[in-house]
Amino acid sequence: MQKPIKTRRLVLRALKDSDVPQLTRLAGDWDVARMTARIPYPYSEAMAREWLASLAPGEFVRAVTFGGTLVGAVGYVPNDDGSAEIGYWIGRPWWGRGFASEAARALVRYCFTTAGFKRLTCCHFEDNLASARVVRKLGFRAKGVVETWSDARQGEYPARTYERARPLRAVLWRITA
Residue 2, pLDDT score = 80
Which residues have C-beta within 8 Å of that of residue 148, sequence separation ≥ 6?
37, 123, 125, 156, 157, 158, 159
3-state helix, strand, coil in the chain (%, to 5): 35, 35, 35
Indicate the CATH number for domain 5-176: 3.40.630.30
Which helix (H) or strand (E) segment holds residue 60: the answer is strand 60-66
Side-chain half-sphere CA neighbours of 21 within 13 A: 2
Q: How far apart are CA 28 and CA 127, in angstroms?
A: 19
Cβ contacts of residue 89 below 8 Å, gap of 6+?
27, 32, 35, 36, 39, 72, 73, 100
What's the confidence (pLDDT) of residue 125?
A: 98
List per-residue pLDDT tens for the chain, 177 residues long.
Answer: 589 999 999 999 999 999 999 999 999 999 999 999 999 999 999 999 999 999 988 999 999 999 999 999 999 999 999 999 999 999 999 999 999 999 999 999 999 999 999 999 999 999 999 999 999 999 999 999 999 999 999 999 999 999 999 987 765 555 444
Strand partners, 86: 76
Q: Which residues pair with 11 in a beta bridge?
A: 6, 65
Picking from 71, 73, 129, 69, the residue whose alpha carbon sits closest to that of residue 97 is 71
pLDDT for position 60:
97
73 beta partners: 63, 89
Rounded distance, CA 177 to CA 173, Å?
A: 6
Give the count of alpha carbons within 13 A of 96, CB side only: 2
Give the separation between CA 8 and CA 136, rounded to whole angstroms: 21
Q: What is the pLDDT of residue 170?
A: 61
Residue extents of the structural domains in the chain: 5-176
pLDDT of 57 = 86
